Structure 1
Amino acid sequence: MRTPRSGDVLAITRQASVQFQIPFQFRVIRMLDLITYEGWIWLDGYQLNSAGDAIDRRSIFVQIHGLRWVGDTTPRPRNDRTGPYRRPESPSRRAS
């Protein structure tokens, strides 16, 4: 079962817990290491507005199987990048 990691954006709905009648997006800071019921976790993070901006820091108690990931927040492997950035050569440094 997938568990949330720092930076993940989750859609928090009633499936995560009955207390969440109005769905919202949540950016995870960390999963808290607290003893809970099986299948439940505490998450620390930020509630996001529709533009994706953090509007409130919260700790929420949710069921893992009710979490829904929003978009792909997995970092790309280094070899998928086009290469290192190279500064353009300035006209004064070009060979005459």
Structure 2
Amino acid sequence: MTALPSPGDLLVVDGRASVQFAGDRALTFRVVSVSDQPTYAGWIWLTGYVLDRRGNATAKREIYVQLAGLHPARPPDPTARRTPRSRRASSPARRRDQDSAATRARSGLRAGAEAG
């Protein structure tokens, strides 16, 4: 990409744009603005959103990249499967409280306390 990106453009930002985005750190980026701040020749500041596989914005970022290393991205697939989330385990304190209540009920302590 040799022309300046425009707001709304969807870009692949990977190691060709900057070493900090090499390998598994590559991202899909929706441009919000292009800074007019002076930089080194061929480099630009972009503000925008990092998108996940479904096209949802996950973080707002300001990035410094080489213009020649930017490439248009394919539109994300909104029907892409979400990765399953693990169920959040209950806290250890809550589990202890539940275990204590069950132990008291089984041992008859509750029944004895109510009768007395």
Normalised to the residue count of structure 2, the TM-score between the two structures is: 0.59
CA distance in 1, matches of 2:62, 2:69: 16
Q: Which one has the largest radius of gyration?
A: 2
Aligned to 2:15: 14
Alpha-carbon distance between aligned partners in 2 of 1:49 and 1:59, rounded to the nearest angstrom: 17
Matched positions, count: 72
Partner of 1:24: 27
Identify unmatched segments of 5+ residues in structure 2. Answer: 76-116
2:46 aligned with 1:43, yes or no? yes
The answer to which structure, 1 or 2, has the higher relative contact order (CA under 8 A, 6+ apart) is 1
SS of the aligned residue for 1:52 comes to: coil
* Uncovered stretches (5+) of structure 1, i.e. residues with no partner: 73-96
Query: Greater strand share, 1 or 2?
Result: 1
| Structure 1 position 71, deviation (Å) | 3.6
How far 1:70 moved relative to its partner?
Answer: 1.5
Query: Please, what is the CA RMSD of the aligned residues?
Result: 1.2
- 1:3 corresponding residue in structure 2: 4
1:76 corresponds in structure 2 to: none
Moved over 6 A (4+): none
**Larger proportion of helix:** 2
CA distance in 1 between counterparts of 2:20 and 2:7 reads: 23
* Percent of aligned pairs sharing the same letter: 43
How far did 1:25 drift? 0.1
